[in-house]
Chains A and B, each alone.
Chain A
Amino acid sequence: MTYTQQRPPMAESSDELRARIPGWGADLNPRHRPAVPMERLDPHPYGAVWDFPERQPEKWPRERSNEHAFLTPVFGTSCPPHGAAGAIRKLAYRRYSEGRAAHWLLLMAADRIDAKASTLRTFASRRPANPITETGIIAELKYHGLRSRRGQQRADLVHQPLDLLIVGGPWIAAAFGAYRLVRRIRPARARR
C-alpha cells in the first residue's frame, strides 16, 4: 500500500513473466544495454579517421545559426533560399539566435509565404498545383475513410474537419474570387 512503506505487490512474478514473454529480462542487467557506461570516449568510431572532417565546398552563401562559430564542415544543399521567403529566412538566421522566439516565428512566416508563392508560381508552369492529388485525399476512398472512423471513439475526429478547412479553404476562396472576377468582366463586355 502506497500510504505505508511497502511497495504494492507485483501482479505477476518475474518467473511468470519470463515464461510468458519471449526475451523478458534479456537486458535486465544495465551492462547489456547500449551506451553503458554513459558517454564513454571513443575518439574514432567506425570508419572515421579524421579529427576534423574535410570541408564541403560552399557553393552559395549558406545561412547558419549565429550560435555556430562557423559553417559546419558538412551541410545539406536542398532548396537554397530565394525570393521573399528566402530573404526572411536569411534575416532570421543572421539576426536572431535559436534562443529567440523571433527566429522561429520569422522562419514559420517564411514557410507560409514560400508555400503560397510557390503554389501561385505553379500556375505559370506545365504542372499547376492540384489540391486533389497533392493532398492524397483519394486515400479516403481507397482506404475506407468512413469505415475507419465510424463507430470509433477517436479523439481526432473533432478536429479532422479543420484540416479540410485549413487545406481546402484557400482553394475555395480563390475559386470564388475567380468566379466573381469573371462575372464582373463578362457583363461589362456584354454592355459594350
Chain B
Amino acid sequence: MRAMVYRGPYRIRVEDKRRPVIEHPNDAIVKVTRAAICGSDLHLYHGMMPDTRVGMTFGHEFIGVVDEVGPSVRTLQPGDRVMVPFNIFCGTCYFCARGLYANCHNVNPNATAVGGIYGYSHTCGGYDGGQAEYVRVPFADVGPELIPDWMDDEDAVLLTDAVATGYFGAQLGDIVEGDVVVVFGAGPVGLSAAASAWLMGAGRVIVIDHLDYRLAKARSFAHAETYNFTEHADIVVLMKKLTDHLGADVAIDAVGAEADGNLLQHITSAKLKLQGGSPIALNWAIDSVRKGGTVSVMGAYGPMFSAVKFGDAMNKGLTLRMNQCPVKRQWPRLFEHVRNGYLKPRELVTHRIPLEHIAEGYHLFSAKLDGCIKPLIVPSAA
C-alpha cells in the first residue's frame, strides 16, 4: 500500500509499505478514505517529539471503511463506514472505565504519562497512523463509531480530533454565563474552542493570533473579536485594558509547543529542542486571565520541561486544566451540535491534497501558506 513515511525533521515521502495485518483479536484494518494533518503532526514533523522514528507513518485524524476484522470483534463488519477517535484505548483499564480515554494504561508500553495515539511517535505507543491507504485500528469494539448517515465525511474527519478538542478546551474552562473567554491560537483547535465557548454561555470571545487570514476566520466562523499580537506591544496589557483591568475569566491555550511571539522561547524549543515546548501562549494565558480564573491547555508540549510562569499561576490562584481530548466521550453531544448547525466542522477545511503530494501538504500547513487552515489528505485509492 502507499503510505506517508517520516524521513527526519522536515522530510517525509510516500512509500510502498506492507499492508497492516491483524495483530490482536480485537483489531480491525480500516481502508482510509479521508485523513487530515493536525497541528500536532507539525511537532513531529519538526522533530520535537522524542522517539519519532524514521519509517513511521503519521496521521491520527482519519475516517474509512472497515476492510478486515479480528476474531473477537463483534460490533463492526467489513464494509462499515467508520470514524476513528485519535486516541487508542482499551475501554476497561482504571482510566478508561472513568472516561479518561486519552489516558488509557493498556495501549502504550513506551510511556505512562501519555496514552496511545495513532501515528504519533513511539512516545505515544509506536502505532502507524492513517496518512496511508490502510491502518491498523486496535480495540475495534471500543474506539471506532459508525458514521451517521446524515453526517458529511469532512465533518466526520474533523470530529476525530480538531473540533472535539476545541470543544473540550472550552469545556475544561468551566465557562459560566457571561464569562470573558480568550483563546490563543486561531488554528482548527482554537477556532473550534472559540465557537464552542458561545455554546457554553460565554459573554465575550476574544481570539489572538498573528495570522490575519486566520483571525478573519475567527470572526466569520466563531463570531469572535480578534487581535493580531504583532500589532500590540504587550498582549497581556491589551487583555487587561479590554477587560476593565480584571483580566479574562477563562483563557484557552490552543497553540502549544511551537508558539511564536518571543524569539528566545521559540528558538530554544522549536529549533534547538532545549525545552519540551515554547510556552509563550501558555504564559500569556496565565498572565491574561483574572485572579481565580481558569486556564485550559489544549496546546501540546513535549515531555521535557518548559519555562512556564508557574509562580504567577500560583499567586493568582488559577485553576489549570488540561488533557489530550477523550474524543469518543465528546461525540454524542457534538453530533447534536453538528446536526443543529451550531458547529460546522467542514468550514475549516481549506485544502484537499492527494496522498502522493503529502510532503507539499506538510510544508503548506507548516509555513502557513495560501490561507491554509486545515488540509485534508485523500489516499490514492479513495
Query: A interface vs B, CB < 8 Å?
Result: 1-3, 7-8, 10-12, 14, 17, 20-28, 30, 32-35, 38-54, 56-57, 62-65, 67-68, 71-79, 85, 89, 93, 98, 101, 104-105, 107-108, 110-112, 114-116, 118-119, 129-131, 133-140, 142-145, 148, 152-156, 158-160, 162-163, 166-167
A7 touches B105 (CB 8 A): no
How far apart are B157's CB and chain A's nearest CB, in angstroms? 20
Asked if B41 CB lies within 8 Å of chain A CBs, one says no
Chain B contacts with A in 299-339, Cβ cutoff 8 A: 302-305, 326, 328-330, 332-333, 337
A10 touches B178 (CB 8 A): yes
Given the complex of chains A and B, what is the CA–CA distance between A184 and B88 in angstroms? 56
Q: Contacts of A53 on B, CB cut-off 8 Å?
A: 24, 26, 90, 92, 106, 139
B109 touches A71 (CB 8 A): yes
Residue pairs across A and B with CB atoms within 8 Å: the count is 312
Asked if B125 CB lies within 8 Å of chain A CBs, one says yes
Q: Contacts of A115 on B, CB cut-off 8 Å?
A: 7-9, 11, 47, 54
How far apart are B166's CB and chain A's nearest CB, in angstroms? 13
Q: Which of B91, B110, B363 contacts A45 (CB 8 A)?
A: B91
What's the dominant secondary structure at chain B's contact region?
Answer: loop
In the assembled complex, 20 residue pairs joining A and B whose CB atoms fall closer than 8 Å, in A order, are A11-B204, A14-B201, A21-B198, A22-B341, A23-B337, A23-B342, A25-B198, A26-B340, A45-B99, A46-B91, A48-B91, A53-B106, A74-B24, A78-B57, A131-B11, A134-B359, A139-B364, A144-B370, A148-B370, A148-B371
Q: Contacts of A56 on B, CB cut-off 8 Å?
A: 23-24
A22 touches B342 (CB 8 A): yes
B112 touches A67 (CB 8 A): yes
How far apart are A102's CB and chain B's nearest CB, in angstroms? 11
Q: With A115-B9, A136-B361, A159-B266 known to touch, is A48 a contact of B141 (CB < 8 Å)?
A: yes
Given the complex of chains A and B, what is the CA–CA distance between A116 and B298 in angstroms? 32
Given the complex of chains A and B, what is the CA–CA distance between A64 and B112 in angstroms? 9
Chain B contacts with A in 239-267, Cβ cutoff 8 A: 243-246, 260-261, 263, 266-267
How far apart are B109's CB and chain A's nearest CB, in angstroms? 4
A10 touches B204 (CB 8 A): yes
Q: Contacts of A10 on B, CB cut-off 8 Å?
A: 178, 203-204
How far apart are A80's CB and chain B's nearest CB, in angstroms? 9
Q: Which of B7, B273, B330, B372 contacts A134 (CB 8 A)?
A: B7
A43 touches B97 (CB 8 A): yes
Given the complex of chains A and B, what is the CA–CA distance between A162 and B271 in angstroms? 8
Q: With A136-B363, A145-B367 known to touch, is A114 a contact of B53 (CB < 8 Å)?
A: yes
A156 touches B210 (CB 8 A): yes
Query: B interface vs A, CB < 8 Å?
Result: 7-13, 23-26, 47, 50-57, 72, 74-75, 88, 90-92, 96-100, 105-113, 116, 122-123, 125-128, 138-139, 141-142, 171, 174, 177-178, 198-201, 203-204, 210-212, 223, 228-231, 243-246, 260-261, 263, 266-267, 270-271, 273, 302-305, 326, 328-330, 332-333, 337, 340-343, 357-364, 367-372
Q: Contacts of A133 on B, CB cut-off 8 Å?
A: 13, 359
Nearest to B372 among chain A residues (CB) is: A143
Q: Contacts of B142 on A, CB cut-off 8 Å?
A: 45-48
Nearest to A145 among chain B residues (CB) is: B369
Q: Contacts of A65 on B, CB cut-off 8 Å?
A: 109-112
How far apart are B339's CB and chain A's nearest CB, in angstroms? 11
Q: Which of B55, B110, B178, B260 contacts A64 (CB 8 A)?
A: B110
B246 touches A159 (CB 8 A): no
Q: Contacts of A75 on B, CB cut-off 8 Å?
A: 107-109, 125-126
How far apart are A6's CB and chain B's nearest CB, in angstroms? 10
Given the complex of chains A and B, what is the CA–CA distance between A2 and B247 in angstroms? 9
How far apart are B49's CB and chain A's nearest CB, in angstroms? 9
Q: Which of A11, A43, A73, A76 contacts B203 (CB 8 A)?
A: A11
Complex A-B, nearest 8 residue pairs according to Cβ-Cβ distance, in ascending order: A23-B342, A47-B141, A115-B8, A48-B91, A76-B126, A76-B127, A136-B359, A136-B363
12 further contact pairs, Cβ within 8 A, besides A24-B199, A42-B98, A156-B260: A26-B340, A35-B99, A53-B90, A54-B25, A67-B112, A74-B116, A75-B126, A79-B53, A115-B7, A135-B11, A142-B360, A155-B210
A108 touches B50 (CB 8 A): yes
B212 touches A25 (CB 8 A): no
Q: Contacts of B91 on A, CB cut-off 8 Å?
A: 44-48
B8 touches A154 (CB 8 A): no
Q: With A47-B74, A118-B54, A136-B363 known to touch, is A98 a contact of B113 (CB < 8 Å)?
A: yes
Given the complex of chains A and B, what is the CA–CA distance between A136 and B302 in angstroms? 25
How far apart are B169's CB and chain A's nearest CB, in angstroms? 12
B122 touches A76 (CB 8 A): yes
A163 touches B201 (CB 8 A): no
B199 touches A25 (CB 8 A): yes
B370 touches A143 (CB 8 A): yes
How far apart are A28's CB and chain B's nearest CB, in angstroms? 4
B230 touches A154 (CB 8 A): yes
Q: With A73-B90, A111-B50 known to touch, is A64 a contact of B273 (CB < 8 Å)?
A: no
A78 touches B90 (CB 8 A): no
Given the complex of chains A and B, what is the CA–CA distance between A45 and B98 in angstroms? 10
Q: Which of B7, B105, B210, B364 contacts A153 (CB 8 A)?
A: B210
Given the complex of chains A and B, what is the CA–CA distance between A145 and B368 in angstroms? 9
